[in-house]
Chains A and B, each alone.
Chain A
Amino acid sequence: NAGVTQTPKFRVLKTGQSMTLLCAQDMNHEYMYWYRQDPGMGLRLIHYSVGEGTTAKGEVPDGYNVSRLKKQNFLLGLESAAPSQTSVYFCASTKQGREDTQYFGPGTRLTVL
């Protein structure tokens, strides 16, 4: 039982390049989330999904797109990376409901030059 895994762990991009971050969970959770963590800012929600085939915007969605084609996977895409997207990205999942614990992946450290 791996929990929540993220691929890749590190990535360096040039401005304007695109990439996709992959999040996978093996706990059969309905809800999945993408956050970004910046120094002194805490975690901010980018997008989330309440089930396969559904996505919704969070607090800071601009410049990102997401897809949830399979229940266990949640992809975060950057179409044209900008230096402001340099951050640590965390994926999380939860079974269902506000009272449930969110389980986090180990993070992806992205640098955009």
Chain B
Amino acid sequence: AQSVTQLDSQVPVFEEAPVELRCNYSSSVSVYLFWYVQYPNQGLQLLLKYLSGSTLVKGINGFEAEFNKSQTSFHLRKPSVHISDTAEYFCAVSDLLTGYSTLTFGKGTMLLVSP
């Protein structure tokens, strides 16, 4: 069975500072990896996804993530955050073997950006 661990439940950061949100997954087969963002009182929306190819994936709003197969990680980064990036971020995995198109989500990391 697949699982996702987001190592930090909250990450406080000052505006214009860099940030990294960590995500590790566990799966015995190849996977697709996703980062979703949830702004307050809204549904989730896709930030970026890794399917294959280049391990560095660029997403919306200046975010990027790097897939590291040997460390089973997919950490999300942004070089300079804005107040508007305050939101909860979810890492998710879909393995290529079991069942249909279902995602397993991590428990989320709340990014708190202060001035």
Contact = CB atoms under 8 A, between A and B. Distances in A.
A31 B43 contact: no
Interface in A1-54: 4, 31, 33, 40-45, 48, 50
Chain B contact-residue range equals 20 to 34
B107 interface: yes
A90 B44 contact: yes
Contact of B32 (A33, A41, A98, A107): A98
B90 A101 contact: no
Contacts of B107: 40-42
A7 B67 CA distance: 37
Interface majority SS (helix, strand, loop, mixed), chain B = loop
Interface string B97-115: 0011111011110000000
A80 interface: no
Contacts, number: 59
Given A42-B108, A58-B102, A102 B46 contact: yes
B35 to A, nearest CB: 11
A42 B106 CA distance: 6
Interface residues of A, number: 27
Given A42-B107, A98-B96, A106 B102 contact: no
Nearest to B91: A42
B64 to A, nearest CB: 17
A50 B51 CA distance: 21
B101 A97 contact: yes
A31 B44 contact: no
Contacts of A4: 43
Contacts of A113: none
B61 interface: no
B102 A105 contact: no
Those 6 A-B pairs whose CB atoms lie nearest each other, nearest first:
A104-B43, A42-B107, A43-B105, A98-B94, A42-B105, A104-B44
Interface of B: 9, 32, 34, 36, 41-46, 49, 51, 90, 94, 96, 99-103, 105-108
